[in-house]
Amino acid sequence: MTQAETATQPRPAAEGRPELPENVRVRFCPSPTGTPHVGMVRTALFNWAQARHSHGTFVFRIEDTDAVRDSEESYNQILDALKWLGIDWDEGVEVGGPDGPYRQSERSAIYSDVAQKLLDAGYAYESYSTSDEIEARNLAAGRPKAFGYDGYDRDLTEEQKASFRVEGRKPALRIRMPDDDVAFDDLIRGRIEFKAGSVPDYVIVRPNGDPLYTLTNPVDDAMMRVNVVLRGEDLLSSTPRQIVLYRYLIKLGVASEMPLFGHMPYVMGEGKKKLSKRDPESNLFLHRENGFIPEGLLNYLALLGWSIGPDRDVFSMSELIEHFDVRDVKANPAHFDIDKAIAINAEHIRMLEPQDFLNRSVPYLHRDGVVSADSWDELTDREREILSASAELVQPRVRLLGEVSGMVGSLLSDAEYLEPEADARKQLKDSAADVLGKAIAALEPIEESAWTTDNLHETLTQALVEDGGYKPRLAFGPVRVALSGRRVSPPLFESMQIVGKAITVARLKGLLAQR
């Protein structure tokens, strides 16, 4: 069975969760208020995977009506993040579509029109109560001050409204919540019910005329024909408000159908606390700077609430698309484990073609001052030659692309002495000087034509282990430190062949002079 055939096979709803519509339309709608974080990316990923699995439509819009917090820098960072990760979209910002504009800051006339229709139909009403007045009434009624809005303005007479206007007050608009329970079948959590009266009438337009998320988000979903809303668990409490508003929008002809909702689990950080945007491990670009590749990071983020199968953690994005169904997402909180994320990334690095691995590594090498340019084609012939020779040595040993510089820096350097790193210097025992002296004596007679991995291995094993009586760790450790300056490096004898005789011997003599 092909991937496409697998993806379109009907799947029975699990535990009462509803069937997905035939033409799935999902959306990703972040606010540009900061650096992209892993929770945001997980939301985008699950929406994208569901759209691709269902051969549906992925809509990407921007919710930028908060002039104080929103920024163009953050907007551009979100675009950068999705493009780097390879999460593409069918309709939305940058690509257009039939339901634009796709930035809320350009849709204010739409919200004003819908708000007026809700008001005219009696689904919304003018509310003149201030926060202080609401709190005072709650206290007078024996309720907690912060109990919430009490419905005071629901049935104001025209005379009362006129009196407030004379005082200079401007009304907010509130949605009139029904007097019955609100229930829905969550795609992830099953049946969820909110009792009548548990959700107060809520504001959709501020007194200054600014529309709130409670209006703009459902209106955009309705007009963009979104029929599957996948979002974070933190928004679950707002769902009964959206459902009620949707009922009104359907009656007004603004919406054609009620969408299905699925609320994804929290992503937890250290100490079993919700992963905050401010936590370093939440910062997407920090992970990119450290050397995560898109395949590895997306693979790990997909595991935050979902799995492809028992005891299987590593898979490709095509496999994710083939198998993903949001109804398989678990409701329990998911824990972000950076060590596991790095381990999965290492697996994906090992799966890269060697030249692809080198191409992706070069920007990190240039950033760290190891090579002369940030693209493979702009490197010198010597740099390309050394990197090509070292790829098979380094690729299986790095977990992040940011680690490549430390592994190949000594191979690319023409320095005749490398200052050992602190942890490498600790590996040098009292016998190091004798070992280095014997190594130099054994290596200097070797002809350039015989400077090969196998011959170097045989020569040093004979001189240091068999004749010198040293165990391999004590025999080869000082040579490794001299050649690389590091405790951990690519395989020793292969590295010696790449570096060449002159520099190898010079580095051994340089370290010996420091003993």
Three-state SS for 289? Answer: helix
Pairing, β 57-60 against β 91-92: parallel
Per-residue pLDDT at 16: 61
Residues 392 and 498 in one domain: no
Give me the mean pLDDT over the 275-289 stretch: 90
Calculate the average pLDDT of the chain: 94
Average pLDDT over residues 281-294: 96
Contact 366, 374 (CB under 8 A): yes
Question: What's the pLDDT band for 2 if we cut at 50, 70, 90?
Answer: very low
Specify whether 366 is located in the same domain as 483. no
Question: Average pLDDT for residues 471-483, to the nearest whole number?
Answer: 96
For residues 318 and 19, what is the distance between their CA atoms, to the nearest angstrom? 23
In angstroms, rounded to a whole number, what is the distance separating the alpha carbons of residues 11 and 13? 6
- Dihedral (CA of 6, 10, 11, 17) sign: positive
Q: Band the pLDDT of 465: cuts 50, 70, 90.
A: very high
- Asked if residue 469 and residue 393 are part of one domain, the reply reads no
Q: Is residue 190 included in any domain, yes or no?
A: yes
Q: What is the CATH number of the domain that holds 187?
A: 3.90.800.10
Question: Is 438 annotated in the active site?
Answer: no
Q: What does the pLDDT read at residue 126?
A: 98
Residue 465 lies in a domain: yes
Q: What is the pLDDT of residue 333?
A: 95
Same domain for 383 and 441 = no
Average the pLDDT over 184-191 and give the result. Answer: 97
Q: Are residues 381 and 427 in the same domain?
A: no
112 within a domain of the structure (yes/no): yes
- Known binding-site residues equal 277
In this structure, is residue 338 part of a structural domain? no
| pTM of the entire predicted model | 0.92
Note whether 121 and 253 are same-domain residues: yes
Residues 117 and 256 in one domain: yes
For every residue of 100-118, DSSP letters joined together read ---BGGG-HHHHHHHHHHH
Q: Kindly indicate the confidence band of residue 176, based on its pLDDT and cuts at 50, 70 and 90.
A: very high
Task: For residue range 47-92, list pLDDT tens digits in order.
Answer: 999 999 999 999 999 999 888 889 999 999 999 999 999 999 999 9
Q: Tell me: do 157 and 238 sit in the same domain.
A: yes
Sequence letter at residue 148? G
List the CATH number of the domain containing 400: 1.10.8.70
Pure H helices in 307-450: 317-323, 338-351, 354-367, 381-394, 404-412, 422-425, 432-443
Judged against a pLDDT cut of 80, whether residue 3 lies above it is answered with no
Whether the predicted pLDDT of 422 surpasses 60: yes
Mean local confidence (pLDDT), 439-468: 98
* Mean pLDDT of all residues in 103-113: 97
Q: 193: helix, coil or strand?
A: strand
pLDDT at 273: 86
CA distance 203 to 207: 10
Rounded to the nearest angstrom, the gap between the alpha carbon of residue 360 and the centroid of all alpha carbons in its chain is: 19
The pLDDT, as a whole number, for residue 4 is 33
CATH code at position 498: 1.10.10.350
Q: Where a domain ends, among 404, 437, 466?
A: 404
Count Cβ atoms below 10 Å from residue 393 Cβ, excluding itself.
17
Q: Is the peptide bond before 101 cis (omega within 30 degrees of 0)?
A: yes
Using pLDDT thresholds of 50, 70 and 90, give the confidence band for residue 367. very high
Q: Say if 494 falls within a structural domain.
A: yes
Catalytic residue of the set 117, 161, 274, 277: 277
Of 58, 66, 77, 57, residue with least CA distance to 104: 66
Distance CA 252, CA 118 (A): 8
Please check the confidence at residue 431 and state whether its pLDDT lies above 90: yes
Last residue of a domain, one of 264, 296, 323: 264
249 and 368 both lie in a single domain: no
Q: Is 230 helix (H, G, I), strand (E, B) or coil?
A: strand
What is the Cα–Cα distance from 397 to 381, expressed in whole angstroms? 24
* Angle, alpha carbons 135-140-143 (nearest 5°): 65
pLDDT reported for residue 74:
96
- Domain-terminating residue out of 203, 231, 264: 264
400 and 435 in a single domain? The answer is no
- Annotated binding site for ATP, which residues? 277
Residue 17 pLDDT level (bands cut at 50, 70, 90):
confident
Predicted pLDDT at 13: 44
| CA nearest neighbour of 500 among 397, 380, 410 | 410
Give residue 362's domain range. 352-404
Return the pLDDT at 303.
98
Q: Is 28 within a domain?
A: no
- Structure tokens of 268? 């937890």
State both tokens at 322. 């083939």
CA 20/CA 185 separation, integer angstroms: 12
Among residues 258, 285, 280, 254, which one has the least CA distance to residue 269?
Answer: 280
For residue 5, pLDDT over 80 is answered with: no
pLDDT for res 394: 97
| Alpha-carbon span 187 to 424, nearest angstrom | 54
Residue 92 lies in a domain: no
Q: Which of 60, 107, 103, 58 is nearest to 79 (CA)?
A: 60
Cα separation, 511 vs 505, whole angstroms: 10
Q: Are residues 142 and 216 in the same domain?
A: yes
- Band (pLDDT 50/70/90 cuts) for residue 14 is low
How is residue 470 written in tokens?
A: 């040293």
Is 374 among the domain residues?
A: yes
Beta bridge partners of 26: 58
User: What is the average per-residue pLDDT within 351-375?
Assistant: 98
Helix (H, G, I), strand (E, B) or coil at 175: strand
Q: How many domains does the chain have?
A: 3
pLDDT band at 10 (very low <50, low <70, confident <90, very high): very low
Of 146 and 470, which is predicted with more confidence? 470
Tell me which residue of 144, 237, 216 sits closest to 173, measured CA to CA: 216
Is the domain of 233 the same as that of 164? yes
